[in-house]
Structure 1
Amino acid sequence: MRNILDKAKSWLTDTFDKDTVKEVQKLMDTDQKLLEESFFQNLSFGTGGMRGIMGVGTNRINKYTLGKNTQGISNYMKSAFPDETLKVVIAYDCRHNSKAFAHHVADVFSANGIQVYIFPELRPTPLLSYSVRHLDCHCGIMLTASHNPPEYNGYKVYWKDGGQLVPPQDREIISEINGLDFTDINFNGNSKLIKTLDASVENAYLDEAVKNVNFNLSAEVKKNLNITFTALHGTSITTVPALLEKAGYQNLQLVEAQSEPDPEFPTVKSPNPEEPEALEMAIKLADKQDSDLAIGTDPDGDRLGIAVRNKQGELTLLNGNQTMVLMTWYLLDKMKQSGNLKDSHFVASTIVSTPLMQVLTEAYGVKYMESLTGFKWIAKLIKDHPELDYIGGGEESFGYMVGDFVRDKDANTAILLVCEMAAELKSQGTSVYEQLIKIYKAHGFFKENLVSLVKRGLEGAEEIKQKMIDLREHPLKEIAGEQVVLIEDYQTSKAKNLQSHESHEIDIPKSNVLIYYTENGTKVAARPSGTEPKIKFYISVNTTLEEVSNFETVDKELDLKIKAIKTDLGLTD
C-alpha cells in the first residue's frame, strides 16, 4: 500500500491540472479501495491496444496516461524514422471523452513536430486502419473501448502497414513509454500541424470496400434482399448505410432508437454483438419488416453480429465462428467459380477459432495460416508474406477482414459480403442457414462455445494468473471422459503429445494461451483476455453430419457434449 500512496502523492503536484489533483486527494481521503484500483499498476497494451476504466491514476484512462503513451510513441517515431516527415492520423468513437482525448493526443503529437490528421467527428476503427496507408502515415491512433461498458475508453495504436502494433515495435515503444515521467509530456500543441480531414478519405474507403466485395449480382437480386441494421449507438451509422447504398442495396431498415451515437448505450446491457441481447431490438424490427437479415455492430464498427432465417423461418443468431466460416466459404467458392484461385492465396484465422476454418480452406486447395488472437497478428501475416495473396479471414470474436486494403477486422466490408452472399443464395431458392448446414455435411459438424469468467481488480488479476499457473502445473489428463492427447503451451512455445511423449516447437509468437486436444477431436483453449478483466475458455467439439435432415438431432448431441465439458471443468457462463 505504501508504494500505491507514493504513486498517488506524485499526482498532487503542479504537473497535473487542478481537477485531477482534487480528485486524487479525494480518493486518498475517502476511498482507499478505489485508490488502490486506480494506482496499483500501469495500464499496458494487450491484444487490442490499451483499454481501461476512465478516471485519475496510472491504472486508468485519462489525459495523462494517454499523453505519456503518445509522448513515448512520438519519441520512438523520431528515432525509427529520423529523416522523414512524420505523420499520424487520429479517429475516435462515441464514448465519453473520446473527442477530448483525441485532441489531447493530437496536441502531444503536434507539440513534437509531427503532422496530425484528425477526423472531424466519430468514425469506425476500420476507417482509421485504412487511413494510415491511404494518407501514407507512420502511425494511427483510435480512441475507443470497442464493446466495453460505458465507463471504459481506450487507445489503439496502428503502424505504417495499417495493422496494430506487433513485435518488435510494441516492446520497443513500451520500453520508451516506461522510461518517461509524466513531466516529460509536451501538451503544447501546434495548431499549424493539425489538419481536420474532409470526406475524401472516407469516400475512398467506401469505394475500396465495394471494389473488394463485388460479385456482379444484378440490381434485382440485391433489391430482393431485406436488411435490418443497428449501429448499437456507435460509429457504424456513419458508414454502413452509405456503403450498402453505394453497393446497390435499397431495402435497408434502421433501428432508429439505436442509430443515434450515445456513450451510455441506453437501450442495451452491453453494446457487444457477441451478446444475444444486443440484437434484440434489431430482430424485433426485422420480424416486423420481414427482413432476411438482422445485423448489428459494436460501437467502433469492427465486429458484427448477424441473425438469419432458420429452416422454420425464425431469425437465429449466428456465432462468430459460423459467420466466419460462411464468409470464407463464399469468398473461396466465388473465386473458384471464376477460376481466380491461385497457389499464392491464403486464408487466416486464430488459434482459438473453429478448426473448421482450416478444414474448409484446405478443401479448396488454398493455404491456411494461423495466428494468435487479435487481428494485429493476421495483419502481420500479410506483412511478413508479401509473396502470398490474402483472401480473407477472421476470428471467433465476431471479427472478419475481406482483402488487405484494411489491416484490421472490418464490420463494414464484412456486412457487405454477408449481404452479397445472402442475396445470391436467396435468388437460388436457398438461404444462409441452409448453406451452413451444407458446409457441415461436406466438411464436418463443428460447434463451439465460449465461457468468459470476469475477475475484476487486483484480486481478480491474481486469480486469473493463478488459474493459468494451475492449468500448467497440473495439466488435465482427460476432459469429460475423453483422454487428452496433445497440449499446446504458447507461453513456452512447446507442444507435447501425451501418447508418444514427444514434443515440438510452436512457430507462433509467445502468448499466455494453453490448448488441450482430446482423442476425439475436442479442443479446449484457455487464455486471459488482453483487454478485459476476464479469463476465457474456448470449447470446440465436432462429429460427422451424414444427412442434412439429421442436423437438429446432431446439433443437440453436440450441445450436450459441450455442457458435459463445461460441467467437468467447473465452468459456468
Structure 2
Amino acid sequence: MNSEIIEKAKAWLSSTFDSATQNEVQKLIDANADELNESFYKNLEFGTGGMRGIMGVGTNRINKYTLGKNTQGLSNYLKEAFPGETPKVAIAYDCRNNSKELAQVVADVFSANDIKVFLFSDLRPTPELSFAVKHLDCHCGIVLTASHNPPEYNGYKVYWQDGGQLVPPQDSEIVAEIESLDYDAVNFSAKKEHITYIDKDVDQAFIEASLKNGSFAELDKHRDDVTIVFTPLHGTSVTIIPEVLEGAGYKNVHIVEEQRTPNGNFPTVKSPNPEEPEALKMALELAEEKNADIVIGTDPDCDRLGIAVRNNKGKLQLLNGNQTMVVMTDFLLDLYFSNNKPKGNEFIGSTIVSTPMMDVLAESYGVECKLGLTGFKWIAKMIKDHPNQNFIGGGEESFGYMVGDFVRDKDAVTATLLACEIVTKAKSEGASFFKKLQDLYVKHGFYKEDLTSLVKKGISGAEEIKQTMIDLRENPLTTINGEQVVQIDDYASSKSLKTTTGTSVDIDIPKSNVLIYHTDQGSRIAARPSGTEPKIKFYISVNDEAKSLEDLNSVEEKLDAKIAGIRKELGL
C-alpha cells in the first residue's frame, strides 16, 4: 500500500472527524486495502456536472466532510466576491439515499458562515433549484444529486446568480479556495436563524413559469384527445410534473404506480436513466394497456427525459435525445416565427457532440446555432454572455432540453409539457410527433446518431481512458470505414486541423478533453471521457439525403450499416 495514501487515511482518525467516520476508516486500514486506495488516492473533483461520486468515507468519496469542505470554501469565496452584502444561497436535494441529510449539512455550514440559506423542505427537481436561484435573488445555489448514476452515488452541483451552473472563471477560483482548506477549517456549527425552509410558494411560481413557457392557448380544446403515460422512475419529478400537466389541461395522465414513490434504491430498474430503454419498460407496458399517445420518463433529479411515441405503424417507438431535441426546436422556431416578426437576434443552443442537424435546422430559419461543450452550463453561459440575443430553446444528445431562459439548466418539467403539446398539435392536424420527425428528415437530410459508453472503473480504468485519448491524438486515424478523415478537432489544444492541407485554425471554445474526427462523407466521430462517470464515450453521427417519406426506411438501413462499420473499425 502506498504510504502517502496511508498517511491521508490516518489523518481521518483525528478528532476533526466523528467517531463513526474514524471507525470506518480504521476498518479500511485494517482489512480493505483496495477500498482504502479507491477512497483516498485523490480528492473528488468537479466535472461537467459538479462533484459526483460514491458515498463513503475518504477524500475521493461523497460524505459530510468532503461536502462540508466544498461548502466552507464556497462560503469564503462568496464573501470575497460580494463584499458588503449578505450572500444568499438556495439548496435543493433529490430522492437519493442521504440527500436530505447531506443537504442539511450543507445548509448548516453556510449558516455557520453567516450566509442566508433557503432550503427546500423536501425533495425537489433540479430545474426548480435553478429557477429558485433567480426567483429568490440568490447569489448561489446547490443541489444534492447524482442525476441518473447508480444508487451508491451522490453529488453536489453549484449554480451561480444567473441560475446556471458554475463556469470559468468562478469554477477554478472556487476549486482553488476549496483545495486551500484543511478539514479542520470547516465550520459545522449551524446558526438556525439563517436557515429558511421553502416549499409551496416557490413551487407555484415555478409551475406558473413552466406553464407560461411550455403550453400554448391554441391547443386548449385538443388536450382531452391525448393520453399520456408518465413515470418519475422513483425520482423527484412526481412532486411537480403531474401538477404542471393538470394545470395545462391534460386529464388523461397515467402514472406508473410501481415507480411513483421516490426511492434512492430505484428498486424496479437496473438504472434510473431514461436514456436506457429498459428503464421505460414498465411505462411502455402501461401505455399499451391505456393506448397512450406518448410515454415520458424522467431521471431522479428531473433534468433529463426519455420519450416514446407512436410510429407510422401505431407502435410505440423510443426516441433518442437528438431526435427529441430536433422536433422540439423546430416546433418552437415555427411557433416563434408564426407569432413574431424576427429581429435577427434569435439563437438556439446545442453541444459539439450533439446532432449536426441542429445547425442545419437553424440555418433553415435564419437563426444562429451556438455550440458549446457538453453540459447545459455552457448553454446557460451563452444566454448570459449574449443578453441582447433572444434564446428560443436548446438541448443536447443526452436527453436534456431547455425551453426559453427562465430555467438555466436542462429542464424535464417544461420539456415534458412541451413534448405533450407537440403530440397534441400534431394529433389535431391528423399527424404525429413521429411524422414531424420524418418530415424534418426529408426536408433537411436524415441524420442518425449512435452513442457507445465504455465503463472503466477505478484507478486502472482512469488510466485506460487516459491512454485511449493519448493514442487517438498521437496516432490519429486517417480513414474510418473507408471514409477519408478530412478534419480533426482537438478541444484540448483548441486546434482544428484540416488533414488534406495540414493547416489548422483556433477553436473558440474553452479547452476540454474532446477529440472529433470528420470524414469526407459527412460522418463525425467524437471521443470524450465522461466528466461525471467512469466512462469514455464515443459519439457517431452519419447522414444522407432522403428524397421522400418512402425513402426513409432504405436510407435508415444504409445509415445503420455505416454506423455498424464505424463501430467495428473502432472496436466498439
| Range class of TM-score, shorter chain | over 0.9
Q: Give 1:336 shift.
A: 1.8
1: CA distance between counterparts of 2:448 and 2:55? 37
Question: What SS does structure 1 have at the residue aligned with 2:142?
Answer: strand
**Residues in 2 aligned to 1:515 and 1:73: alpha-carbon distance in whole angstroms:** 35
Give the SS at the match of 1:133: helix
> Aligned with 2:566: secondary structure?
helix
Letter in 1 for 2:376: F
Residue aligning to 2:249: 248
- Residue 547 of structure 1: CA displacement? 1.1
Alignment of 1:109-508 (within 5 A): 109-508=110-509
Task: State the shift of 1:129 in Å.
Answer: 0.3
Unpaired segments of 5 or more residues in structure 1?
A: none
Return the offset for 1:217. 2.7
Q: Distance in 1 between matches of 2:105 and 2:424?
A: 45
What is the letter of the counterpart of residue 197 of structure 2?
A: T
What's the TM-score, normalizing by structure 2?
A: 0.99
For 1:125 and 1:220, the matched residues in 2 are separated by 31
What's the counterpart of residue 519 of structure 1? 520
Deviations 1:230-255 (A, max 9, x none): 00000000010000111111110000
Given that residues 219 and 425 in structure 2 are in contact (C-alpha distance below 8 angstroms), is that contact kept between their aligned partners in structure 1? no
**What's the offset of the Cα at 1:212?**
1.0
Partner of 2:22: 21
Please state how far the C-alpha of 1:340 moved relative to its aligned partner.
Answer: 4.0
| Shift, 1:257, TM fit | 0.5
Between the two proteins, the alignment pairs up a number of residues equal to 571
Rounded Cα–Cα distance in structure 2 between residues aligned with 1:198 and 1:435 = 38
Cα distance, 1:177 vs structure 2: 0.3
Q: Is the 8 A contact 2:72 2:109 kept in 1?
A: yes
Deviation at 1:338, TM superposition (A): 1.7
SS of structure 1 residue aligned to 2:489: strand
Alignment partners' CA distance in 1, 2:99 and 2:341? 43
Select between 354-363 and 551-560 the one with higher mean Cα deviation: 551-560
The aligned amino acid for 2:237 is: S
CA contact (8 A) 2:219 2:421 kept: no
**Which has the higher mean CA deviation after the structures are superposed, 549-558 or 479-488?**
549-558
Report what 1:37 is aligned to: 38
Give the SS at the match of 1:392.
Answer: strand
- Counterpart position of 2:534: 533
Give the deviation of 1:198 after TM superposition: 3.2
Structure 2 unaligned residues grouped into runs of 5+: none
Runs (4+) of structure 1 exceeding 4 A deviation are none
TM-score of the aligned structures, taking structure 1 as reference length = 0.99
Correspondence for 2:55: 54
User: Take 2:183 and 2:88, find their aligned partners in 1: how far apart are those partners?
Assistant: 23
How far is 1:220 from its partner? 2.6
**Deviation per residue, 1:499-523 (Å, 9 max, x gap):** 1211100000000000000000000
Cα deviation, residue 342, structure 1: 2.7
Mapped to 1, the partners of 2:524 and 2:369 lie a distance apart of: 18
Letter in 1 for 2:487: L
SS in 1 for 2:46: coil
Q: Deviations over 1:476-513 (max 9, x none)?
A: 11111100000000000000000121110000000000
- Matched position secondary structure for 2:217: coil
Provide the C-alpha distance between the structure 2 equivalents of 1:70 and 1:208, rounded to a whole number of angstroms. 30
SS in 1 for 2:167: coil
Distance 1:398 1:115 in 2: 34
Q: Which moved more, 1:220-229 or 1:232-241?
A: 220-229
Alignment partner of 1:100 is 2:89: no
RMSD, aligned CA: 0.7
Aligned equivalents of 1:522 and 1:372: distance in 2?
19
SS at match of 1:217: helix
AA of the residue aligned to 2:438: I
Measure the CA separation in 2 of the matches of 1:412 and 1:213: 9
Question: 2-side partners of 1:92 and 1:213: how far apart?
Answer: 24
Q: Which residue of 1 aligns with 2:81?
A: 80
Tell me by how many angstroms 1:552 deviates. Answer: 1.4
Equivalent position SS for 1:492:
coil
